[in-house]
């Protein structure tokens, strides 16, 4: 049986992971993988602005990284869509 695989927005496991990664990037601000992971967790939690900020930090470390550029574009698109729902 597989447990703990389904994460929903606001899930405590996601919150714990965000907290761990946020602490880790403070100690290791030049760690590309930590910023990328933090961005992905925020994105998975529909926290698109926070994801964009984390991915942007990763992009500063590895400028031109196609995966990160694509992730930022996805988050910008999703943020725009979610914002349009409130109009």
Domain ranges of the chain: 12-85
Question: Residue 60 — pLDDT band, cuts 50, 70, 90?
Answer: very high
Please, are residues 61 and 30 in contact by the beta-carbon 8 Å criterion? yes
Report the candidate in 37, 34, 33 with the shortest Cα–Cα distance to residue 45. 37
pLDDT averaged over the chain?
89
In the chain, % of residues over pLDDT 90: 80
pTM of the model: 0.83
**Helices 48-61 and 32-44, axial angle in degrees (round to 10):** 160
Report the candidate in 71, 29, 66 with the shortest Cα–Cα distance to residue 79. 71
CATH class of 12-85: mainly alpha
Chain Cα centroid distance, residue 53: 8
Q: What's the pLDDT tens digit per position in 6-45? A: 444 555 788 899 999 999 999 999 999 999 999 999 999 9
Return the pLDDT at 6: 43
């Amino acid at each position: 049986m597989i447990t703990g695989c389904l994460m929903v927005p606001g899930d405590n496991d996601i919150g714990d992971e965000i907290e761990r990664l946020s602490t880790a990037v403070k100690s290791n601000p030049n760690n590309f993988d930590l910023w990328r992971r933090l961005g992905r967790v925020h994105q998975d939690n529909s926290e698109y602005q926070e994801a964009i900020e984390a991915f942007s930090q990763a992009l500063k470390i590895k400028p031109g990284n196609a995966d990160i550029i694509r992730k930022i574009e996805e988050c910008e698109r999703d943020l725009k869509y979610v914002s349009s729902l409130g109009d």
